[in-house]
Structure 1
C-alpha cells in the first residue's frame, strides 16, 4: 500500500488498515477505547484533523496497570530461553510489518517516510539485540567470611512505565520496551496524545508474535490524566521518561513522592565543534545531518555550531548552501528530506525562538520564504519551518541556552581549544556533541573534556542499541541501552546459604 499525497484520506487509510479505525489503549490482547475527554489527531503536513478519540482517563490507566501486574507475574515465570525466543519472534514480526509501521508513522505524524523506515528498522534491531540478552542475565557468587555460600541474582522490577515523546513515536516505543521485556518486566507505554497510533500497532504486533496478555501494554491519553495516574501508582516498579526538562522534573517529583525510581532522557543543546584543520565538506555534510534530519526534532540535534575563526565565513557559506538545497515536501514522498514540525504548539515555539534569535542580533543566512511547492499546495496549512541557520549567536543568548527542537542551528566562532570546550560546556545540558578535526590528539582531548553522554569524532548522530545512551545535568540520568539495561531494569538480590549445619551462632547486627 503506497501513497504520495499526505491528506486526511491517507491518514485515515493508514488508521483503518493498521488499527481497524479504532484508537484506544492496548491491554489483554486488544484495543480498549477510553471514556475520558475527547482528543484529536492533526496532520502536521496540512493542519487538518483526521481522527478523534477518548482519553483513557484515570479509570483506563487503572485497568492498564492491573493488566500489567498480571502480565508481569506471567512473564517473570517464563523461562529466560523462552523469553529470548519470543522476543526474536517479535523482531521478525516487526520486520514483516515494517512498511506498514513506517507508512502509519509518516502519514499521521508528518515524519519523512525515509526517516520513518530507518526508525522502524532500528526497532527490529532493538528486539533482535535484546532477545540475545534475555538468557544472559546472571548474578555472582561472592566469597564472604565464615561458612556461607552467598550469591546474587537479578530480579525484574515487575511493571515498567515508559512515557515516550511525539518526535519519534515508534522508535522510542521500541527503545523503551525491548530492554525491560528482555529483563523479565511487563511494560506500559504512554505515548504522546499527539502521536499514539504506531505505538498501539507495535503492541498489537508484539502480542500477536507471542507475548502473553498484559506483558506489552499501551495507555493512550494526556499526561495530566493518564501520565499522572501511571507515575504515582505504587504497583509500578520503575518509570522511564523521554521528553522536555520541565516535564521531566515534574515526573521526577511525582515519582520520588511515590517512591518510584526513574530513568530520565531529557533535552539537549549539543555543540558541533569544527576546527580549521577539519575536512570542511565532510563537516558541512555532518552539520546538515546533525540539525536538519527529522526537521530538527531530535534530542541530540547539533543545534550549536562552533566554528574556528579562520574558517568561519567559508564554512558558514558551505552549510547555508547545503541547507538551501534540502527538499521540503510531502512526507510520504521518498525524496522528501525535511518534513514539518509534528505539533502546532511546537511550530509556534520554533518560530518564536527564531524571532528571538534575530532580535538578539543573530543574522539569518538561509532563506525565509517557503518554496511554492509548499506555499502553493494543499500542504500550505502545515507546520513548515525552513532549515534555518542563524550566524552570530553569542554566549548567553536565548538560542545558545534554550532547546529549540526544530530545524534551527545557531553558529558562532572560537579561537582556541580551551574556548571551544568552555563554550560547549556552557549550558546545563549534557546529552551529545561532536568535534571535526584531523588532529587525533585534539579529537580525543575534546571528546574527553566536553560533558556529554554521547560524543562523536568526525561524525554525528550515529547511535546503536548496543551502546549506552543518556545524558548529564539537565539532559537526565540513567542509561536505557547497551548492556547497562540489566542494571536499569533489574534489581540485585543477595542470597545467603549456610554450608555448615552446626557451629557458632549466627552473628547479630544492629542494622
Structure 2
C-alpha cells in the first residue's frame, strides 16, 4: 500500500467512513450492486478503489428513508431546534477540517490549502442557514374581500441533489444546508469520481444530531442511480450542478416526471480589463480567475477581454507571472495548482489546447517539465477571435483565451456573444463605466475590480446554458419551499364567493 493511500484510509477512518466508497442509506454504509467504478488519484494515476454503483434498489431505499425522516424533521421539532442542530453540524465540521481536506486533496486533486478553506466554508454554510431556520415568515395580504389572507412557506418534501467532481464537499454543503434548514429531506448523489467527502459530511452531521435518514448519499452513476432517484415518487425537486450537456439530460428526465429543477451549469465568463485599470491588480485577478483550482470552476474567467491599447502588456504580465505559480502534489502546503481531477477531463483540456493551436492561436505556457499525473500547465491562448471554439466552449482547465477589444460597446458585445450567462468582471478606475458594465453584461454574478468572490449569503446562478434558479442566499430558501395561501372569512355571515373576489 502506498503512503498516499495509507493517509487516505486514516483520514477516512477519522470521519466515520469504511475502507472503500459506500453509499449512506438511513444511517448505514451500504455497498452498491451495480457496475464497477474506479477512483483514481489524479496526481499519481494510481487506482485507489474499485466500488459498485449504488443501483436502483439503493436509490429507492434512499428516497424512502428521506421521506420517512422528513416528516418528523419538518413537523416533529421546532424550527429553532432545527437551527440548533445545524449550528452543531457547523462546529463538528470545523473539528474535522484536516481529515476532510486530506481526503479531498487526494481524491479530487485540489491543493490541500484550498481544501481546508472550502471545508471551513461548509461549516459557515450550515451556520448561515441555521439562522434562517426559524425566520421563514409568511405574509399577510390585504385582499379586498374582507378575508384574512396569509401565506405559509412549506418545505417541498424530498429533494434530489446531484453534485460535481470539481468541488465535492463545498457543493454538498452549498446544497444540503438550505434544503434541511427549510425542513426538507435530501437524497444527494455526488460525482461517482469524488464521493467520499459527501458521505463523510453526512456522517459527521448524524453524529451531532441530524436525524438518521434525513440526508442519504448515493455513490454511483447518473444514468442508473441518478435516474432511479429522479423517477422516485418521493422526490419533489431535482437540483443539478455540472455540465450543460448532463444538465439537459437531467432536465428532460425531471420534466418527464413533472418535477421542477434548479440547474447550475457551466460558464464562459468574460474578465474585462480597460486601459485605465490597475494592470498589476488586474493581472493578479486574472490569475485567480482562471488558474486557481486548475481552472476547474464554472465561474472561471476563461475569456480575458483586454482593451487593445494594453492587451500586449497585460498578456505579457500574465505570461511572466504564471511561471511563478507552484504546481505539484496536492498534499504539499506550497502547491497552488494541482492536477486536472480525472483522466477524461485531462484529455479534453489537452485536446482543446491542441485544436486552438491548430486554429492559429499563439500558445503561451510554462517551459518547465510538468509534474507527474494529470497536469495541464497554466496556458494563455492569444490571437484568436471571440468566435473561435476555444473562446466559446467551456474548457474547464487552466486555459484562458485573451481577446482585444476596441471600446466599451465592443467589450459588452464580446462579453455577451456566448451561450452562457453565469459570471463576469470588469477592471476599471471609472466608477460610472463599472456600473454600466455590471448592468450590460449578461451574468448572474458580476465583479468590479475583483474576481471569484462568493459567499453563502449572496444568490448564485446563471441563465441560458449556465442554467436557471439560485442556490444560495435567501433565494435558495425560496427554491426549497413553496408558498401556501390561506383564506379566512372573518365576516359574521360568511360570504361564499363564486370565483374571483372583489
TM-score by length of 1: 0.95
Report if aligned partners of 2:271, 2:304 keep a CA contact under 8 Å in 1.
Answer: yes
Q: 1:127 to 1:348 in 2, by over 3 A?
A: same
| Displacement after TM superposition at 1:393 (Å) | 2.1
Could you say which residue in structure 2 is the equivalent of 1:445? 436
Report if aligned partners of 1:341, 1:406 keep a CA contact under 8 Å in 2.
Answer: yes
Report if aligned partners of 1:7, 1:43 keep a CA contact under 8 Å in 2.
Answer: no
Mapping 1:73-92, distance limit 5 Å: 73-77=71-75, 78-92=77-91
| Displacement after TM superposition at 1:415 (Å) | 1.1
Correspondence 1:21 to 2:19: yes
Aligned partner of 1:48 among 43, 46, 49: 46
Q: Distance in 2 between matches of 1:203 and 1:503?
A: 51
Deviation digits for residues 369-403 of structure 1 (CA, Å, limit 9, x no counterpart): 534xx2xxxxx2x1111011111121210011000
Report if aligned partners of 1:151, 1:494 keep a CA contact under 8 Å in 2.
Answer: yes
| Displacement after TM superposition at 1:145 (Å) | 2.8
Q: Distance in 2 between matches of 1:369 and 1:226?
A: 43
Could you say which residue in structure 1 is the equivalent of 2:341? 342
| Displacement after TM superposition at 1:107 (Å) | 1.9
Aligned partner of 1:427 among 393, 415, 418: 418
| Displacement after TM superposition at 1:55 (Å) | 1.0
Mapping 1:39-438, distance limit 5 Å: 39-77=37-75, 78-367=77-366, 369-371=368-370, 374=371, 380=372, 382-438=373-429
Q: Distance in 2 between matches of 1:181 and 1:501?
A: 41
Correspondence 1:7 to 2:20: no
| Displacement after TM superposition at 1:96 (Å) | 1.0
| Displacement after TM superposition at 1:368 (Å) | 5.2
Report if aligned partners of 2:445, 2:460 keep a CA contact under 8 Å in 1.
Answer: yes
User: Runs of 5+ in structure 2 lacking a partner?
Assistant: none
Q: Distance in 2 between matches of 1:428 and 1:312?
A: 25
Q: Distance in 1 between matches of 2:235 and 2:494?
A: 43
Q: Secondary structure of 2:231's match?
A: coil
Report if aligned partners of 2:12, 2:99 keep a CA contact under 8 Å in 1.
Answer: no
| Displacement after TM superposition at 1:6 (Å) | 7.2
| Displacement after TM superposition at 1:313 (Å) | 1.4
| Displacement after TM superposition at 1:360 (Å) | 1.1
Q: Distance in 1 between matches of 2:47 and 2:94?
A: 30
Report if aligned partners of 1:342, 1:383 keep a CA contact under 8 Å in 2.
Answer: yes
Report if aligned partners of 1:347, 1:384 keep a CA contact under 8 Å in 2.
Answer: yes
Q: Distance in 2 between matches of 1:224 and 1:16?
A: 30
RMSD of equivalent CA atoms: 1.4
Report if aligned partners of 2:25, 2:58 keep a CA contact under 8 Å in 1.
Answer: no
Report if aligned partners of 1:267, 1:474 keep a CA contact under 8 Å in 2.
Answer: yes
Q: Secondary structure of 2:318's match?
A: helix
Q: Distance in 2 between matches of 1:285 and 1:420?
A: 20
Report if aligned partners of 1:45, 1:383 keep a CA contact under 8 Å in 2.
Answer: yes
Over 6 Å off, 4+ runs? none
Q: Distance in 2 between matches of 1:404 and 1:231?
A: 28
Correspondence 1:465 to 2:456: yes
| Displacement after TM superposition at 1:11 (Å) | 3.0
Report if aligned partners of 1:189, 1:218 keep a CA contact under 8 Å in 2.
Answer: yes
Report if aligned partners of 2:425, 2:450 keep a CA contact under 8 Å in 1.
Answer: yes
Could you say which residue in structure 2 is the equivalent of 1:377? none
| Displacement after TM superposition at 1:503 (Å) | 4.8
Q: Distance in 1 between matches of 2:320 and 2:494?
A: 82
Q: Distance in 1 between matches of 2:51 and 2:112?
A: 25
Report if aligned partners of 1:44, 1:344 keep a CA contact under 8 Å in 2.
Answer: yes
Report if aligned partners of 1:305, 1:409 keep a CA contact under 8 Å in 2.
Answer: yes
| Displacement after TM superposition at 1:501 (Å) | 4.3
Q: Secondary structure of 1:7's match?
A: helix
Q: Distance in 2 between matches of 1:501 and 1:279?
A: 71
Deviation digits for residues 398-451 of structure 1 (CA, Å, limit 9, x no counterpart): 011000000100101011000011000010100001111111111111111000
How many equivalent residue pairs?
A: 498
Q: Secondary structure of 1:256's match?
A: helix
Q: Secondary structure of 2:474's match?
A: coil
Structure 1 window deviating more from structure 2 (328-337 vs 6-15): it is 6-15
Q: Secondary structure of 2:132's match?
A: coil
| Displacement after TM superposition at 1:17 (Å) | 4.0
| Displacement after TM superposition at 1:63 (Å) | 0.6
Q: Secondary structure of 1:173's match?
A: helix
TM-score by length of 2: 0.97
Aligned partner of 1:509 among 494, 499, 502: 499
